[in-house]
Chains A and B, each alone.
Chain A
């Protein structure tokens, strides 16, 4: 198991390398000039030139990338070209809000999606199933930034129950969590349903029935654990996504998360900031994926056996 984890962590290194290269390259293509933004519209060409020289923007791409990677290996992520603050603390300053939103939305999603998905599967082709299918469909089809605005209109502008934006305590977390959570809810519910339907048809479920296991035991003891793998996969993937990229929800709720930070960085051609943040995000995503893989091993002994090979 430890070898498996180590192997995965080592495999992560070239991916991060690649992420850095691709992001750095795309950012380099971006036409904006940080020097203009830093110095302001009124600055003289000489002032701009000085800033460019100071930031090393005049060097060819390969030199700049090489320098960046060299610093990265020494543990220096560089600093934002605009704010002059190191990327690392900037990122971690935004992380709590992102984490809160990620946990909030996954809780909203899991609380409802799993019971509904199981219910839907065990009552296949009944009205319960139809209702769940419709909920799932709507949830999947709703643009969440629009849902966010609808929630603001209803619960904050009309009813005044929750703030319409900002990250300030539990109350402010509820609407964004629902906004992000609804899609997840729909997705996990649909996955739970199809996964359960798949498992319920397996021979070992008939074996369990033939043993005299009651309905509840069949569903929760025998079937559910076998159905968990695809559910965990989807949940993990989307947790990672919410952690590093829900730019739209963050925009709607003026949420001070990582997504907005990167977005602002992109629009202002802050290459260092964007590359650094995306590398960190990728690391988080990979760690979450690894955790998901480790959870697999606890759910399914066959997977555990594979890891030790």
Chain B
């Protein structure tokens, strides 16, 4: 409402930061724990991670996951095959569960790729300013104005079909967004008085960036990261759906949907489970991300 209150709030947070050290982090964790949605999301996500890790323990890849079993082909969901079987008689339950690892790995790694590119370029642009910023941001504009899915398709086509290339493609196509968020955030922080103060006491530029600017610009970047993990999982599934990325017969969820699509009329169950799996995973990430955003920036909530 008033400038006074604002100043008071700023002073308060600054004081809190300096006195209690990690108190801001604790505050965030405290608020996060109180958020039901975030906790449900985190729990579901943890379960999915465990499933992904235990995939090889639960199933034998050669026989259960990719082994053909023509006798049992195209069975509707039943007691033996909870999600039914595909056209090769492979158990969809095993394939969907085993597929978790692909989606998670792609989601994380590709986001890390975007984060790495975006964080470096964005903070350089935001902090340096001048022509450096101009060049970086114009390149970002170019990437931003290309539809990301088409860009990813082009990159996968150029690099060749493989899981690693899929990760790179999704990562590169989303890097521009990170770059923009980082720059905007750094730009805001750079203008603040405490950076001026750090400079006034003679701290080096590098130190100011690493110790002051980046840590204080992190909130929007963290929020962006969770959003992008969710987006990357969907993009990766989409690319696999088109037949790019993880080669068959690996049970990536997008590939499962792609195969099921051919049997849409007569065996619709084939596409239900993999799609639900994607949705639940993304939902869990989104729930957690939303909670995290509210915890970091509580003024949005109340």
User: Which residues of A are in contact with B by a Cβ distance under 8 Å?
Assistant: 14-15, 18-19, 22-23, 26-27, 29-32, 137-138, 140-143, 145-147, 149-150, 152-153, 157, 194, 197-198, 203, 241, 244-248, 251-252, 259, 262-263, 266-267, 269, 274, 278, 281-282, 285-286
Contact = CB atoms under 8 A, between A and B. Distances in A.
A278 B148 CA distance: 11
A282 B145 contact: yes
Nearest to A134: B37
B275 A15 contact: no
A248 B300 contact: no
Contacts of A197: 300
Interface string B269-286: 001101100110011001
B275 A143 contact: yes
Given A152-B264, A267-B157, A15 B145 contact: yes
Given A241-B147, A245-B147, A259-B150, A146 B257 contact: yes
B153 A263 contact: yes
B238 A248 contact: yes
B143 interface: yes
Nearest to B261: A149
A141 B277 CA distance: 11
B178 interface: no
Interface stretch (B18-26, B93-101, B134-142, B188-196): B134-142
Interface string B207-236: 000000000000000000000001000100
Given A247-B150, A259-B149, A266-B154, 12 more contacts: A14-B138, A18-B142, A27-B158, A141-B279, A143-B278, A149-B261, A149-B271, A153-B268, A244-B150, A245-B150, A248-B238, A263-B153
B1 interface: yes
Contact of B282 (A23, A141, A194, A244): A141
A145 B237 CA distance: 10
Contacts of A266: 150, 153-154, 157
B138 A149 contact: no
B155 interface: yes
Q: Majority SS of interface residues in chain A?
A: helix
Given A143-B275, A145-B257, A285 B145 contact: yes
Interface string B241-266: 11000000000000001001100110
A22 B150 contact: no
Sort A-B residue pairs by CB-CB distance and give the 7 closest, nearest first.
Answer: A245-B147, A146-B275, A18-B142, A29-B158, A141-B283, A141-B282, A153-B268
Given A26-B158, A142-B279, A143-B237, A18 B149 contact: no
A96 B146 CA distance: 20
Nearest to B300: A194
A203, A248, A267, A269 — which one has the most chain B CB atoms within 10 A of its CB?
A248
22 contacts: A19-B142, A22-B142, A143-B234, A143-B279, A146-B257, A146-B274, A146-B279, A149-B260, A149-B264, A150-B275, A153-B264, A157-B264, A157-B265, A198-B300, A241-B147, A244-B147, A245-B149, A246-B149, A247-B150, A248-B149, A269-B157, A282-B145
Contacts of A140: 230, 282, 286
B132 interface: no
B238 A145 contact: yes
A286 B155 CA distance: 23
A246 B154 CA distance: 15
B202 to A, nearest CB: 37
